[in-house]
Amino acid sequence: TKCVTKRLPLRGHAAAAAARHLATASGHPDPQTVRDVEERVASKAAADRKKKGDGAPSPLHFSLSGTGPAMFPWMAGFCHGLRSRGLVTADTTLVGLSGGAVCSALLAAGADFSPGGDVMACGQEQSDLCRDGRQGLGRLVGNMAEELIGEDALPRLLHSENVFVAVAEAPGGSLVKALGSEVSLHGRFVDKGDVVGALRASTHLPYVSDGYATTTYRGAEVVDAGIRGQMFIPLEGFVHVNIFPPIGHVPEGEGALGRLLVGAYARLNNRAGAPVHAHPYMAGGFGMGIFGRDDLRMRPLARDEALLRHRLGYEAFLGWHGGQGRERDAQTSE
């Protein structure tokens, strides 16, 4: 698949003002809160149990963390596992933050996350354009979404109550207010532009994406919700997939400095202290040693490195999925 490339200039003040005006158009659904989504999922589960009986299998629901350029291939590898084992169904609810939002939407759209599939191919093409200086980082997500969410896949996303994209609102363009805001979960998309806009908004890093502190989505000033110090959205009854391990996890194979850094990052990016169910250290080959200069510069990865991290993401999925099986076996034997 040839990935689309939008060769548009970085927006100036006039273009930004026009974009903000268009984004205030009415007719978009209100954002949901975490509690709204939890209650909807719990209510549907109760109705299903009443209809099918307590022994009927329940769908899994996933909250996918932010990734940055460094860990997007890892999350894609994990999603490849979810897709290949049939764990994402029509009844699965997906909530994503930043790179996890992109993966959530593409999972729901039925995209191919395999090593040679469209997600990795398109992502690499866009990454190479960034690496070569032919486009800015802020264009990568929008171009990928435009290409990978085709007309055949779009109906799976429109008006769906099973896919939500997280943003942090920044009233008046204030990043200080964004830091203390409650997360907003956007879903029930009305058209392709609404979906692409949501993914651009969810991955908007202040000043990094396009030189502006915030962007506008559905009439509100917003930014990547990861700036709030919570890399994933904690939800009751969801599997939390995070690029950092749980607080207190001691990674095997890391030296004293590595363990110190991992512990610090785990705390700084999980201010809620929420459980983490799946993470990179579930793959035996993962460690701080894989990171290099590109990661420090927030530069998209070269192909070989991206494929390595994709493999580690898939192996982490296998580690998590195997643990799920052992847990089910233990419950059955009780």
Is position 15 within any domain? no
The amino acid at 223: V
Whole-number pLDDT of residue 325: 55
Indicate if the alpha-carbon torsion angle 292, 299, 168, 155 is positive or negative: negative
pLDDT at 130 over 50: yes
**Model pTM?**
0.91
Does any domain span residue 1? no
Question: What pLDDT is recorded for position 16?
Answer: 41
Q: What is the pLDDT of residues 50-91, one digit of tens each?
A: 888 877 789 999 999 999 999 999 999 999 999 999 999 999
User: Which own/partner pairs from 84-90 qualify as long-range (CB within 8 Å, at least 24 positions apart)?
Assistant: 84/114, 85/321, 87/60, 87/321, 88/62, 89/59, 90/162
pLDDT in tens, 219-258: 999 999 999 999 999 999 999 999 999 999 999 999 999 9
| Residue 330: inside a domain | no
The C-alpha atoms of residue 330 and residue 328 are separated, in whole angstroms, by: 5
Number of domains in the chain: 1
Report yes or no on 180 lying in a domain. Answer: yes
How many other β-carbons are positioned within 10 Å of the β-carbon of residue 126?
23
Residue 331 maps to a domain: no
Confidence of residue 4 (pLDDT cuts 50, 70, 90): low
Report yes or no on 334 lying in a domain. no
- Neighbouring CB atoms inside 10 A of 35's CB total 11
Token representation of residue 204: 């908007």
C-beta atoms surrounding 73 within 10 Å: 29
Q: Look up the domain containing 101 and give its range.
A: 22-45+58-320
pLDDT at 26: 52
Q: For residue 168, give the CATH number of its domain.
A: 3.40.1090
Q: Mean pLDDT of all residues in the chain?
A: 91
Q: Which has more pLDDT, 141 or 23?
A: 141
pLDDT in tens, 318-331: 999 998 756 544 44
In a domain, 329, yes or no: no
Lowest mean pLDDT among 143-157, 185-199, 261-275, 317-331: 317-331
Q: Look at residue 120 and tell me whether its pLDDT is greater than 50.
A: yes
> For residue 52, what pLDDT is reported?
85
- CA end-to-end distance (rounded Å), the chain: 50
Residue 52 in domain: no
